[in-house]
Amino acid sequence: NAGVTQTPKFQVLKTGQSMTLQCAQDMNHEYMSWYRQDPGMGLRLIHYSVGAGITDQGEVPNGYNVSRSTTEDFPLRLLSAAPSQTSVYFCASRPRGPSNQPQHFGDGTRLSIL
Amino acid sequence: EDQVTQSPEALRLQEGESSSLNCSYTVSGLRGLFWYRQDPGKGPEFLFTLYSAGEEKEKERLKATLTKKESFLHITAPKPEDSATYLCAVQAKNNDMRFGAGTRLTVKP
């Protein structure tokens, strides 16, 4: 099993550009989430989804959009990139059931906004 | 507001020198406390979940413990391959997950 796969691994954007970070999991997990990781700070939740067609905002949702059309995929869209969105982005998933189950993480997308 | 604080920020040990990492938390109704390991350029890798005060879990050289205010990750006789950043996270009753900033552990041979 591949687990959680994120693409691309690295990306450089100019301010104002848009892009989509891809996330796919092959474990049939219902719950998927996006985090950003910045130096000196813990992972912060951007958006999450409890199943296909259902998404909700996390702690830092501004400037990001998500959709969940299939169980496997959960893309994160940057609408108009800003330097403050320079970060490492992680996608995670966990199975249906109690919410206090551990999440499985991808290896991240390193994004720089110039 | 739910908070997670990890200490120290960085820890350098000699191979075989045992030590502990701390995770202090304030949360409304703890549903679970998680420990993850993160290697450079990789995503967090799950180690343990603790659900209630007094619980302990072990895996190889690692042992995690939990009280009502903090968790410790004890590392016994560490090896260089234990070098990584260790992350603590708590899940509250409202299902919010909060991560600490991590402890960067370096074990020198």
One DSSP character per residue, A32-45 reads EEEEEE-TTS--EE
- pLDDT value of position B37: 98
With a cut of 80, say whether residue B94 has pLDDT above it.
Answer: no
Q: Which residues of A touch B36 (CB under 8 A)?
A: 105
- pLDDT value of position B92: 83
Average pLDDT along chain A: 94
Neighbours of B41 (CB within 10 A): 10
With a cut of 70, say whether residue A70 has pLDDT above it.
Answer: yes
Rounded to a whole number of angstroms, the distance from the CA of B82 to the nearest CA of chain A is 19
Which range, of A52-61, A67-76, A96-105, B69-78, averages the lowest pLDDT? Answer: A96-105
Q: Which of A42, A92, A108 sits opposite B101 (nearest CB)?
A: A42
With a cut of 90, say whether residue A54 has pLDDT above it.
Answer: yes
Tabulate helix, strand, coil % of chain A (nearest 5): 5, 50, 50
In this prediction, residues A50-76 reach a mean pLDDT of: 95
Residue B53: name the closest of B64, B42, B65 by CA: B65
Q: Which residues of A touch B102 (CB under 8 A)?
A: 42
**More confident of the two residues B33 and A101:** B33
Q: Do B43 and A42 touch (CB under 8 A)?
A: no
A97 contacts chain B (CB < 8 A): no
- pLDDT value of position A90: 98
CA atoms in the 13 A half-sphere facing the CB of B57: 14
Pairing between strand B10-14 and B103-108? parallel
pLDDT digits (tens, 9 = 90+) for A74-112: 999 999 999 999 999 999 999 987 777 889 999 999 999
Q: Which residues of A touch B24 (CB under 8 A)?
A: none
- pLDDT value of position A1: 63
